[in-house]
Chain A
Amino acid sequence: MNRRDLFKYTGAAAALGMLSPARKLVAAESTAPKRLVMVLAQGGWDVTYALDPKVQNVRCDVPVGAIRRFGNLDIFTDASRPNVTAFFTKYAGVSAVVRGISVSSVAHQECLKRMSTGTRSEVNPDMAAIVAHDNGNALPLPYLILGDTAYTGQFAGSAGRVGSTNQIIALLDPAQAYQTNGRAPLATTNPEDAILQKYANATADRMKATRGALGYNRKRVDDFVESIRRGKALQGVRAGFGARGRVLSLTNQVELALDALEQDISQSVMLNTRLGWDTHDANTDQAGFHETTFAGLTLLLDGLAARPGRQTGTTMLDDTIVVCYSEFSRTPKLNAVMGKDHWPVTSALVMGAGVKGGRGYGATNEAVEAETVDFATGARSATGMTLMSNHFCAGVLKAAGIDPIAHLGPTEVFSAFVA
């Protein structure tokens, strides 16, 4: 527990009081609890390749292609990027593009924090960690981290990683465990596990009667007990994790994510495109990266739409929000080596449940500079506000059925895209 955490628990109420009466309604307006899948295009994507279409002008270099409308949603496409076109042809109706998000930095790590957590501290949880904790903390592994970058903050006890070569399966499946000293690993039986759990609980009770009675220590004891239960539950669903040594491409991550969500192993999943988005030279590489990413998104949404939801007659797409984002965008103009550098205004794609899809929200000008917007409608407005990363994250949390103020403090909520 640090001061930021303390704020979360003691300051949220005060923060609510600082807001205008209309904004006090935010908590009450939060929608039904959702799952959340985050797809991180780490390194900085060029939004002119799809999400924030521009016409070539003196202040902005755009790739090959043209602006195409998918209903009310304008996207930059080209025949050479068929996966982008295919995705929006199929899923524009459930997709909201949020443009003109300012991150106020052009440093990778800083912007990753800001876009992921809505804050400026790496000790705060990202959106997926919050959703996992608040909406699904009873699951075996509420927050499944399949990508590389993620922020778990005070909800670290609810999160877990699979490892760069999916080595988590070595912990779950004795048949895939490592041999050491030429011996097969010692596996305990279910009765032995029950005995071990009982012993752990006895220790926890002793700790709670003494050093672990209160506060930070108490949380560590509680996490300890809960982690054993979760570990055991994970072993019960190990079939969903595949083989050790598996390289986690985006496609593989999508498959694991769908299984983990469908089997109620996890409430949130963090994926990573694992592509070299940081195109300081050869910015045309962005074309291929977009193709790979939108192929993955199509696979993800196809899977969500094909699997049963939590209510009869629904699909997982009715329960799940998907956010595809990057920490920042790239400069409007090409540099001397035909690359693009870091740009502090970006876009994000929000899909699925709780999202008013089929249109764009927020705005940028011809040089990808953020314009002020009306937070109620998402439309460009001279009297509006600049859309910041914290506003965007607050909107996603609200769409997931979570009170954003409780986690982010006195933050305006950009909820125009929330159904």
Chain B
Amino acid sequence: MRFLALTLCLTACASDIRQSGDDDDQQDPDEVSPTAVYLTPPQHLTRISLALRGMRPALDDLHAVEADPAVLPSIVDRYLDSPAFAETIKELHNETLLMRIEVPQFTYPAIGPLAGKTARELNTGKFDEPLRLIEDIVMTDQPYTKIVTADYTMTNDVTAAMWGMTHTGAPEAWTRSALPDARPKLGILSSNALYDRWRSAGFNFNRGRANMISRVLLCHDYLTSDIMVDTNVDLADPDVVANAVIANKSCAGCHQTLDPLASYLFTYRNQLGPVAVDAYPVTYYSPATANRWMTANKRPPMFFGVSTGNMQGLGQAIADDPRFAKCAATRFASYFTEVAQTEVSGAWVARLQKALVDSNWNAKELAKAVMLSDEFRVSHDTDAEVAERTVGALKLRPEQLHRMIRDLTGFNWSTTATSNLRGIPYGTANLLESDFIGFRVLAGGIDSYFVTDYVHTMNATSSLVAKSAAAAAADFVVERDLIAAVADRTLFREAGVNDTDPNLIRAQLAYLHARIYGELVAPDSPEVDDTLVLYEEAFAASNNRARAWKVTLIGMLSNFRALFY
């Protein structure tokens, strides 16, 4: 497919589009069921820790919550200030912006100031920019509305060289930078990368981009509308189409709001593929074509019927739209609970929306409100019918699995590839965060291009990925702890790898249950009994203590209790 533009061109729609900010006609999913069973405080902490950080809680926190559940909010606050939450914020927003792609036709050349850069570095430097801006806004407690009004962006050395911006700090560090020119200051909507990811097919007059903005920021997706296309309209003739989207009632229903939104975007060029890049810097900003709407779709720029003067007013108009807050609340709730956006409780979303707005648009407060909600801490439901739609087992996304394993074992499952992506050496990547060489999609993740929805259950390939990652991590940590001083050991805190004392082995297994499963169980508990059988049978099979611990850790790290929360 040439551009994969979300070509909305020429679609018509009925007038029954659900406006995300309008609750009147929206069927409200049920509130929490009266037969719901909630997680215990340690289980709740574990779910919070994995949702916000992709990491298991520290033992001290588990014990603290077990002793006094009232400490939970303070732990959440600490998590929200952690670097791991910054990673989660980027992943949460990538799920909708779909920026993290590894596709040849989007991979710019390693030339000029970017000579010697790997494909991985080029694509990360290009496509992470809007995600890094959102991260910066959220992590520095700026109002979330700034994602569409900020007057700066974020760069590393690749971003700056590619688009012609000044970068300060270490080459690979992401730091704040001024926008490169006089473009409107609209946060992520000022990003070259956003318009490169969402290229326009020219004759579509930015309608695909406009729908992307509406979908991502307002949860209003024109494409989901039930439409009847009038085939009597010659879709190959731009003039006929331009008239039809105004005069033909089957077209105008959507296009009367979509096309004016698209008209803002003539300020950016349609596309700039890698074959057109023979030197850096390049840019998508194109002020000379800002008024092209006059001859293209003939609709002046407007935001759902409201004139904003120029593109500079677009960001504030989006931020002022009630759908913006509701959409953010819906996305956070959906992402953290693995419940489809359309299935998230409307009443809950309303509460979350209020929490966001009342906190001066602090996205951390929104995340905190999600974490402490009853809707989030549901374990299961005793009513069989309700249980069918009760998501009480959340599966780790590949990125979370990466962070969990790294945090538990110190192991980073990465490799350096010798293969090329569009003729450029691919470079080094974590195998759970790469599509070109790694297993992100095979583990149930998204490649943000062809695969855009996470798989929240296990299948053959995600099982193989989990086991392979567990095996590599187990091998690493056992070998490391085998020779490390006691104080420096990562996982073997209660027993050494070669210890034979049954009591020490049980104590070590209980420790692993706490770290890997978040289970605070006694060394003589039935849970540890199960794992002891695993260890003993593994030892019997190899007569090697280190091997037995490796197999035990494979079993635990790839266990249901590790992969789901």
Contact = CB atoms under 8 A, between A and B. Distances in A.
B180 interface: no
B544 to A, nearest CB: 11
B380 A204 contact: no
Contact of A200 (B228, B391, B559): B559
Contact of A203 (B37, B452, B459, B530): B530
B471 A185 contact: yes
Contacts of A294: none
Interface string A203-217: 110110011111111
A160 B442 contact: yes
B463 A231 contact: yes
A180 B415 contact: yes
Contacts of B7: 106-108, 341-342
B333 to A, nearest CB: 15
Given A148-B450, A331-B234, A215 B460 contact: no
Contacts of A288: none
Given A214-B382, A280-B201, A178 B415 contact: yes
**Residue of A123, A178, A332, A333 contacting most chain B CB atoms (<10 Å):** A178
Contacts of B391: 216
**Residue of A148, A152, A215, A332 contacting most chain B CB atoms (<10 Å):** A215
A162 B310 CA distance: 47
A203 B490 CA distance: 25
Interface in A269-326: 276-280
Nearest to A10: B385
Interface size class for chain B? 35 or more
A256 to B, nearest CB: 14
Contacts of A178: 415, 431, 437
A215 B388 contact: yes
B2 A280 contact: yes
B229 A104 contact: yes
A221 B458 CA distance: 9
A392 B243 CA distance: 33
Interface in B73-98: none
B1 A342 contact: no
Contacts of B228: 104
B414 interface: yes
B541 to A, nearest CB: 5
Contacts of B10: 106, 341-342
B1 A277 contact: yes
Contact of B390 (A216, A221, A280): A216
Interface in A151-193: 152, 156-165, 167-168, 170-172, 177-181, 183, 185-189, 191-192
Given A2-B340, A224-B458, A335 B554 contact: no
Contacts of A223: 457-459
A97 B17 CA distance: 35
A195 interface: yes
A369 B231 contact: yes
Contacts of A214: 380-382, 384, 387-388
Given A183-B475, A203-B560, A227-B463, A220 B237 contact: no
A46 B427 CA distance: 39
B439 A171 contact: yes
Contacts of B6: 107-109
Contact of B551 (A105, A195, A210, A279): A195
A207 B550 contact: no
Nearest to B201: A280
A341 B231 CA distance: 13
A277 B560 CA distance: 42
Nearest to A214: B387
B438 A167 contact: yes
B289 interface: no
A196 interface: yes
Given A123-B340, A335-B237, A369-B231, A227 B453 contact: no
Contacts of B438: 167
Interface string B411-450: 0011100010000000000010001111101101001011
B460 A341 contact: no
Interface string B346-382: 0000000000000000000000000000000001111
Contacts of A332: 236
A216 B389 contact: yes
Interface residues of A, number: 105
B564 interface: yes
B455 A200 contact: no
B486 interface: no
Contact of B11 (A105, A162, A207): A105
B560 A163 contact: no
Nearest to A212: B393
A123 to B, nearest CB: 6
Contacts of B229: 104-106, 344
B186 interface: no
A396 B127 CA distance: 40
Contacts of B393: 211-212, 216-217, 220-221
A31 B538 CA distance: 49
Given A277-B1, A280-B201, A333 B234 contact: yes
A216 B227 contact: no
B8 interface: yes
Nearest to B474: A186
A192 B223 contact: no
Nearest to A151: B453
B9 A211 contact: no
A185 B395 CA distance: 25
18 contacts: A2-B343, A5-B389, A104-B226, A106-B229, A110-B223, A123-B340, A163-B439, A178-B415, A192-B551, A198-B534, A203-B560, A210-B380, A213-B387, A214-B388, A217-B387, A220-B457, A331-B236, A335-B203
* 9 cross-chain pairs, A with B, having the tightest CB-CB distances, nearest first: A215-B387, A43-B1, A148-B450, A227-B463, A230-B460, A214-B387, A227-B458, A331-B236, A160-B461
Interface of B: 1-11, 37, 102, 201-203, 223-224, 226-229, 231-232, 234-238, 339-340, 342-343, 379-382, 384, 386-393, 395, 413-415, 419, 431, 435-439, 441-442, 444, 447, 449-453, 455-465, 467-468, 471-472, 474-476, 527, 530-531, 533-534, 537-538, 541-542, 550-551, 554-555, 558-561, 563-564
Given A158-B459, A164-B447, 9 more contacts: A5-B388, A105-B227, A202-B530, A216-B389, A230-B459, A280-B203, A332-B236, A341-B9, A344-B231
